[in-house]
């Protein structure tokens, strides 16, 4: 399969039609290159807050509500695009009010046959929990698709090995991200590459890019698209299948061979995935050794 992952920049939107046109252009471009799976970044939906004006877009709480209120329309648009272009699409995540509690950070996943589901972020960053008050969402999911088994670890989630291990049956782990500084980008990238190493799978990282002085939440963004595998048989020695140019908007593409994943899991130079269980007895028996 061919995968496309986005370095996505936000726009100030004056109308819903402008947003529709933008999404159609992005999807059409990737589908035109033969991509069967498209990955948008974390909090890419925040541009929808601009439709309610500067006062709303610049206010943390009001921007949450404004974006959440637009998500039904956004879901219908993404569903139509996935069907029209015959692609799977992981939509840009958004703060979503789902019930009486605080909003969650949710990325919706669309199939070309019209089906859809979503993945919520599991572990909040300090900004999300201390300033924005975003709540952890529903459980991790494993999506069984025509392209293989796919999991999603939203940004900070990719930095936690046990979340990655819970998705050990996946062929691909999608990592939509939103990182302010270069250090944040590299934390998520290192997490994505580590999960690819441990699970002997492919990870697909999308990034928000560009500066937006109209928002407190997504005002500064650093990153690029990247697609990673284990540095082992059938994969590049660096583990990097493809990477974009830092902070340059656009798609990054890679061709993924599922048989390469199966082969490296069965007969790689190392077998991290199957040897994972050998850690348990050893970490349980750690002793303090004074020197």
Mean confidence (pLDDT) of the chain: 97
Q: What residues have CB less than 8 Å from 62, skipping those under 6 apart?
A: 49, 52, 55, 56
Q: For 101-154, how does the pLDDT look when each residue is reduced to its tens digit (9 = 90+)?
A: 999 999 999 999 999 999 999 999 999 999 999 999 999 999 999 999 999 999
Asked whether residue 138 is assigned to any structural domain, the reply reads: yes
Residue 182 — pLDDT band, cuts 50, 70, 90? very high
**d(Cα 223, Cα 175) in Å, to the nearest integer?**
12
Q: For 149-181, how does the pLDDT look when each residue is reduced to its tens digit (9 = 90+)?
A: 999 999 999 999 999 999 999 999 999 999 999
CATH number of the domain at 71, please.
3.60.110.10
Asked whether residue 290 is assigned to any structural domain, the reply reads: no
What are the tokens at 289? 């050794």
pTM of the model: 0.97
Asked whether residue 291 is assigned to any structural domain, the reply reads: no
Asked whether residue 197 is assigned to any structural domain, the reply reads: yes
What's the confidence (pLDDT) of residue 208? 98
Whether 190 has a pLDDT exceeding 90, the answer reads yes
| Number of separate domains in the chain | 1
What's the confidence (pLDDT) of residue 286? 84
What are the tokens at 208? 């928000």
Q: For 262-284, how does the pLDDT look when each residue is reduced to its tens digit (9 = 90+)?
A: 999 999 999 999 999 999 888 88
Mean pLDDT score, 41-61: 97
Asked whether residue 288 is assigned to any structural domain, the reply reads: no
- Structural domain harbouring 141: 2-283
Mean pLDDT score, 216-242: 97
**d(Cα 52, Cα 22) in Å, to the nearest integer?**
18
Asked whether residue 114 is assigned to any structural domain, the reply reads: yes
Whether 15 has a pLDDT exceeding 90, the answer reads yes
Asked whether residue 289 is assigned to any structural domain, the reply reads: no
Asked whether residue 219 is assigned to any structural domain, the reply reads: yes
**d(Cα 157, Cα 192) in Å, to the nearest integer?**
10
What's the confidence (pLDDT) of residue 288? 87
């Amino acid at each position: 399969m061919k995968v496309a992952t986005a370095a996505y920049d936000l726009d100030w939107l004056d109308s819903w039609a402008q947003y529709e046109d933008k999404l159609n252009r992005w999807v059409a471009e990737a589908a035109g290159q033969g991509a069967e799976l498209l990955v948008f970044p974390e909090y890419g939906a925040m541009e929808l807050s601009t439709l309610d004006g500067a006062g709303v877009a610049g206010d943390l709480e009001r921007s949450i509500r404004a974006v959440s209120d637009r998500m039904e329309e956004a879901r219908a648009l993404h569903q139509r695009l996935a069907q029209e272009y015959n692609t799977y699409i992981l939509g840009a995540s958004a703060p979503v009010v789902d019930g009486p509690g605080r909003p969650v950070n949710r990325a919706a996943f669309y199939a070309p046959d019209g089906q859809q589901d979503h993945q919520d972020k599991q572990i909040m960053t300090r900004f999300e929990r201390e300033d924005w008050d975003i709540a952890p969402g529903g459980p991790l999911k494993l999506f069984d698709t025509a392209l293989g088994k796919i999991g999603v670890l939203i940004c900070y989630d990719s930095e936690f090995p046990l979340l990655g291990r819970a998705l050990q049956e996946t062929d691909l782990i999608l990592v939509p991200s939103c990182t302010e500084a270069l250090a944040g980008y590299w934390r998520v990238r290192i997490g994505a590459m580590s999960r690819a190493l441990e699970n002997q799978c492919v990870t697909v990282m999308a990034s928000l890019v560009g500066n937006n002085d109209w928002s407190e939440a997504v005002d500064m963004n650093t990153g690029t698209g990247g697609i990673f595998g284990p540095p082992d048989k059938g994969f590049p020695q660096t583990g990097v299948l493809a990477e974009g140019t830092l902070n340059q908007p656009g798609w990054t593409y890679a061709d993924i061979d599922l048989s390469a994943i199966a082969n490296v899991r069965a007969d790689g130079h190392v077998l991290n995935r199957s040897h994972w269980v050998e850690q348990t007895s050893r970490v349980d028996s750690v002793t303090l050794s004074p020197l």
